[in-house]
Amino acid sequence: METIKIAAVKRGTFGKKESKAIRKQGLVPCTIYGKGETIHFSVDAKALKPLIYTPQSYLVEFDIEGNKEVGVMREVQYHPVTDNILHVDFYHVIPGKPIAIDIPVKLVGNSEGVKQGGKLILSKRKLRVSADMEHLPDTLDVDVTSLGLGKSIFVGDLKFDHLTLLTPATTAVCAVKMTRAARGAAAAAAAEGK
């Protein structure tokens, strides 16, 4: 899994007033927790854009005034009107311990159902998985080659090495739906056969 490096400044004061002052400077207040301690810091709002405005998931390596911390993004709070980032929570990544993270799904192959006139629909863009840091993939490749018309692939049908899927097994990942044109062609073929 790719890592993004972000420089950060440690925060000594907390509260609404201090957070507002930090935001006026173009910084975003953040916290990282999970190793028995919570570290409060702030980062440049522009440095968070490649991390937040993307479908990808990343490990984040912070340089907090010379102190290195590695984490994954847990929660982002946005302003209700301006949509500016107000606060970001991160969770520590400890080598050797599994972490839970959402990984994007990538559909691979040309489906049989699509060849018959169906439409491939991706229902779940990301799946939550648990794995060690070194086993985290950039994407979860799902082979749809044998997926027929009107059929679906569920989370329970998927298997990946060194990963535990945390998304419920009954969740549909993708499906091939019959289009109107395919229905019309099937009806016309059935009418000719009579």
pLDDT value at residue 121: 92
**Model pLDDT for residues 146-183, shown as the tens digit of each residue:** 998 889 999 999 999 888 999 999 999 999 998 877 67
How many domains are contained in the chain?
2
Point out the residues of the chain with pLDDT beneath 70.
182, 186, 193-194
pLDDT value at residue 20: 85
Sequence-ordered list of residues with C-beta below 8 angstroms from that of 19, at least 6 positions apart, any chain = 29, 86, 87
CATH number at residue 64: 2.40.240.10
Q: Is there a single domain that holds both residue 119 and residue 157?
A: yes
Predicted structure pTM score: 0.74
pLDDT value at residue 118: 87
CATH number at residue 113: 2.170.120.20
Residue 62, sorted as left (phi over 0), alpha (psi -120 to 50) or beta, turns out to be beta
At residue 110, φ and ψ (nearest 5 deg) are -110, 115
Three-state secondary-structure class, residue 73: strand
- Please answer whether residues 35 and 96 qualify as being in contact, where contact means their C-beta atoms are separated by less than 8 angstroms: no
Which of 67, 94, 121 is where one domain is finished? 94
- Please answer whether residues 62 and 68 qualify as being in contact, where contact means their C-beta atoms are separated by less than 8 angstroms: yes
CA gyration radius, the chain: 22
Indicate the burial class of 62 (C-beta count within 10 angstroms; 0-12, 13-18, 19 or more). Answer: buried
Which of 94, 111, 143 is where one domain is finished? 94
